[in-house]
Amino acid sequence: MTAPLWTAAEVAKATQGIGSQNFHASGVSIDSRTIEPGDLFLAIKGPNQDGHDYLPQVAARKAAAAIVRRGAIVPAGLPFLEVEDTRQALYALGQAARARSTARIAAVTGSVGKTSAKEMLRLVLAEQGSCHGSAGNLNNEWGLPLSLARMPAASRFAVFEIGMNHAGEIRPLSRLARPHVAIVTTVEAVHLEFFNSVAEIADAKAEIFEGIEPGGAAVLNRDNPWYDRLVETAKRQGVARIVGFGKNPAADARLLSTAAAAAGMDVQAALFGARIDYRIGATGQHWAMNSLAVLAAAKLLGADLEAAARALAGATALPGRGAQRSLPIAGGSLLLIDDSYNASPVSVAAALDVLASLKPGSGGRRIAVLGDMLELGPNAESLHAGLAPEIAGKPIDLVFLAGSLMGKLGEVLPKKLVARHEPNTSALAPHVTAALRPGDAVLVKGSLGSKMSIIVRAIEALAIAAKAG
């Protein structure tokens, strides 16, 4: 039997909770909808919901126990601990998980590519020892302590994603995670809504250095214009080692070249002075860049570099983050690039690069279906129009646009490129599906709030109809 994640005594000690029943928890949850049998549930009061209202469901789903505020009414049969503040209890549990851990720990932040790089690092580390990691996109004030609290005591490695919308958010999270290695994937004009400048964004990312363990390392994008500023802050914070990745000849993890390969791409690189070649199961320069940060971090965490590089062959783009699928349609098939989860100027440019590098099937075209990039602040319109050279300068045949901001792009693109612009994806979807033909390569990209998944589902429905017919 594997050791329980938490015993009642350990939880009581960590959270200073008061309760008398014994239990063993195999997981930790703050969401009654996704709670698993055996989980420890923390009843948290959020802006809209109060977890205390869901304790009957939590009991019915066979939670091991609940942490509740003093005086809460708990259903019979559900062991519980009372605390002053359940949110603090979550932090305390994360802190206790960190304190007892001997894992080598990485934290990943950056304007774009956090989840992609985190998953890639998990993939390569998991082959070399038990590796814990944040699930999905759990990177904020709730997600990070929760992810820490879920870390098994015996983990050899752990990888946490840390995100932010405002200055001051990353500092406490990094101090909680206390990483040995912190990656900043890149600094870009993303989430500008709550910042006056990209310099401020760089400084907010740099807060991650404050949590780095003594003797630890920062892995930074050598090609990014904010590199020097980040290095300065890292040094000021006493970060022992700074490792740059990128194309810059001075980069410690240096990209030499990439070439398209059967299922992904071949990368030639130099890491810490030694040549290393490997295959990644995904295409795009941004993947090559992320892989360099991942390999540098893996090495700094004590993993075997050659084995880590070999494992990258299994790294594929995640659903909604560039995953490619061949789908049957009447008369043949098309290639769908599903990048419907997230969009910012830098990630749209990266996705358009991928589209341009793909070879459509016979008779097929390269088609981009783009939805609004959200949270860009006051320059949102010009940032949308600014995508025009990224499209017009590439072998892209047709563009479909959804949303008022993408309308600004439509105004400046050559008219023959713009097949259709609609205010939203529901209105756009039938125009896209009507235009598609065998051999097409179709990129679907936009912010989550732009509901690009409606387009993805409409294209999938074509495929299902083709199969049935």
Ligand X SMILES: Nc1ncnc2c1ncn2[C@@H]1O[C@H](COP(=O)(O)OP(=O)(O)O)[C@@H](O)[C@H]1O
Positions in the binding site for ligand X (CB under 6 A): 110, 112-116, 185-186, 286, 289-290, 321-322, 339, 342, 346-347, 350-351
One character per residue 63-102, x = contact with Mg ion (rule: CB under 5 A): ----------------------------------------
Residue 350, contacted partner among Mg ion, ligand X, none, CB below 5-8 A by kind: ligand X
- 79 or 110: CB nearest ligand X: 110
Among 95, 115, 340, 347, binds Mg ion (CB under 5 A): 115
CB of 41 to Mg ion, least distance (A): 25
Of the candidates 378, 10, 403, 402, the one whose C-alpha atom is nearest the C-alpha of residue 192 is 378
CB of 155 to Mg ion, least distance (A): 21
CB of 72 to Mg ion, least distance (A): 33
- 239 or 288: CB nearest ligand X: 288
Residue 316, contacted partner among ligand X, Mg ion, none, CB below 5-8 A by kind: none
According to CB under 5 A, which residues from 157 to 196 bind Mg ion? Answer: none
Among 7, 16, 26, 137, binds Mg ion (CB under 5 A): 137
In terms of Cβ atoms closer than 10 Å to its own Cβ (0-12, 13-18, 19+), residue 411 is middle
- 114 or 420: CB nearest Mg ion: 114
CB of 163 to ligand X, least distance (A): 7
- Nearest residue to Mg ion, scored by beta-carbon proximity: 115
Among 69, 104, 114, 150, binds Mg ion (CB under 5 A): 114
Residue 145, contacted partner among ligand X, Mg ion, none, CB below 5-8 A by kind: none
- 86 or 347: CB nearest Mg ion: 347
- 66 or 317: CB nearest ligand X: 317
Of the candidates 183, 266, 175, 177, the one whose C-alpha atom is nearest the C-alpha of residue 222 is 183
Residue 324, contacted partner among Mg ion, ligand X, none, CB below 5-8 A by kind: none
29 lies in the site for Mg ion, by CB under 5 A: no
61 lies in the site for Mg ion, by CB under 5 A: no
Does residue 102 contact residue 108 with C-beta atoms inside 8 Å?
A: no
- 64 or 146: CB nearest ligand X: 146
Residue 185, contacted partner among Mg ion, ligand X, none, CB below 5-8 A by kind: ligand X
- 137 or 357: CB nearest Mg ion: 137
Spatial CB neighbours of 450, under 8 Å, sequence gap ≥ 6: 343, 371, 372, 373, 374, 402, 403, 425
Sheet-wide strand order for 332-339: 323-329, 332-339, 441-445, 366-371, 398-402, 418-422
CB of 343 to ligand X, least distance (A): 7
- 253 or 346: CB nearest ligand X: 346
CB of 50 to ligand X, least distance (A): 29
- 114 or 150: CB nearest Mg ion: 114
CB of 186 to ligand X, least distance (A): 5
CB of 323 to ligand X, least distance (A): 9
CA atoms within 13 A on the CB side of 117: 33
* Binding-site ranges for Mg ion (CB under 5 A): 114-115, 137
